[in-house]
Amino acid sequence: MYKLSISGLIIVFLAACAAKPTNLGAERIFVSNEKPAPDCIFMGEVQGSQGNFWTAEFTSDRNILTGARNEMRNQALSLGANYVMMETQSHSHNTAGFSLGGTYASVIIGNAYRCPSQSQGSL
């Protein structure tokens, strides 16, 4: 029983250190700071986040940032969007003396659009 509990904790711990995955199809959603083309249709606001104080020391900055973007892409996919214009990004950093430093949480908010395939960004 004791070995099973430790194994379970290790699996949960390792999963907490990975970036949130994208749902099938969400990896094709284009994310940009640029306004979408005029013929794109607004589908809704989306947001993604990853990271917390407890797992930050063991999760790479890249995974924290990628996980937030992946969650935002997943939400855009559920709205039927194919383009996200990022509006706000917030990254919290560890600065305490006992910390290893780096990003411990990331939140990204954007607007999701459905664009004709030939016109995703503004010209």
Residue-by-residue DSSP string for the chain? -HHHHHHHHHHHHHHHHSPPPPPTTGGG-EEESSPBPTT-EEEEEEEEEE--TTTGGGS-HHHHHHHHHHHHHHHHHHHT-SEEEEEEEEEEE--STTS--SEEEEEEEEEEEE--TT--B--
With respect to residue 121, please indicate whether it lies within any of the assigned structural domains. no
Assess contact for 108 and 38: CB atoms under 8 A.
no
Q: Which domain holds residue 24?
A: 2-114
Q: What is the pLDDT of residues 31-56, one digit of tens each?
A: 999 999 999 999 999 999 876 555 65
Which of the residue ranges 53-57, 104-108, 109-113 would you say has the lowest mean pLDDT? 53-57
Q: What is the pTM of this model?
A: 0.72
Query: Is 120 within the bounds of a domain?
Result: no
- pLDDT one-digit tens code per residue, 70-89: 999 999 999 999 999 999 87
Residue 105 is assigned to a structural domain of this protein: yes
69: in domain: yes
- CATH number, domain at 52? 3.30.110.70
Q: Is residue 41 part of a domain?
A: yes
Number of domains in the chain: 1
